[in-house]
Structure 1
Amino acid sequence: MPTVPAGVVVLDCAEPEKLAEFYRELLAAEVVDAQANRVELRASDGFRLALRRDTNATAPSWPRPENSLQAHLEFVVDDLDAVERRIVGLGGRPVETKDAAGPLEERGYADPAGHSFTVRCDVPVAPKLG
């Protein structure tokens, strides 16, 4: 049976170089490929993220319903407060969200280009509600 090796998550944005710097700093990642319209990063745990230029890119409006969340990144961390300070210091911004069902605390943010992501202390096990 053929297998599909792990790929790379790609986010479209107007300025991939600037957004790559945000995620490079946040994830303590390294640039593994930089081209005119695409920058790819790899974190120490192997996670790969690429930022691709799209001159017509518009960020999702999550948590508002119009042009809602299409996909988001989720990071598991050990100190929500410290990570929040780092995100804001790098140019990210908090996004108003509701807590996930159950005992897990999560916080939502937008990167400098408006892509949504969450940080949490554990991997979620409950289904998405709403």
Structure 2
Amino acid sequence: MTVQMTLTAVNLDCPDPPALAAFYQQATGLEPHPESNADFAGLTRGGGLFIGFQRVDDYRAPHWPEQSAPQQAHLDFAVEDVDEAEARLLELGAVKPDRQPGKDRWRVFLDPAGHPFCLVKG
């Protein structure tokens, strides 16, 4: 028997939920969740998508690509123009690591809390 499951939320640990939510809000245009606060902030989109950012004391950022602190999770975003999106994300505070294993298929970035995420042409 297959159980029907619908993904409704992704939550990321971080040291400063409002700051990380602001980064992703500016990058994606998702709407701030009205109950966001200093310990848990969220972004929403019609259709049920929710990205949450939860405060963790003594947060250790992932170290990509090495695994001394595992990447924990990463997000993939489809964009029409990867170069344009890259420029905007770097302005917002993302970092583009030197190691780019995707060649022309995807590009890896790190958000301000160190989580890796990828851009793909979509």
Query: So what's the TM-score if we normalise by structure 1?
Result: 0.81
| d(CA) in 2 for partners of 1:63, 1:43 | 30
In structure 1, the residue matched to 2:25 is 24
RMSD over aligned Cα, in angstroms? 2.0
Of 53, 56, 72 in structure 1, the residue corresponding to residue 55 of structure 2 is 53
* Counterpart amino acid of residue 110 in structure 2: A
Give SS of 1:68's match. coil
Cα displacement (A) at 1:42: 1.2
Deviations 1:19-71 (A, max 9, x none): 11000110101112313410110135643210101121111111123223221
CA contact (8 A) 1:62 1:69 kept: yes
Alignment of 1:33-48 (within 5 A): 33-43=35-45, 46-48=48-50
Match for residue 73 of structure 1 among 71, 75, 79: 75
Note closer, same or farther for the CA distance 1:98–1:91 as it changes in structure 2 (3 Å cut). Answer: closer
Report the count of equivalent residues.
120
Structure 2: gaps (5+ residues):
none
Secondary structure of the residue aligned to 1:96 is: coil
Preserved CA contact (<8 Å) 2:11 2:54? yes
Q: Does 1:109 align with 2:109?
A: yes
What amino acid sits opposite 1:117 in the alignment?
A: F
2:62/2:69 contact within 8 Å kept = yes
Distance 2:87 2:27 in 1: 11
CA contact (8 A) 1:40 1:48 kept: yes
| Distance change (3 Å), C-alpha of 1:56 and 1:121 | same
User: Identity, % of aligned pairs?
Assistant: 31
CA distance in 1, matches of 2:119, 2:96: 11
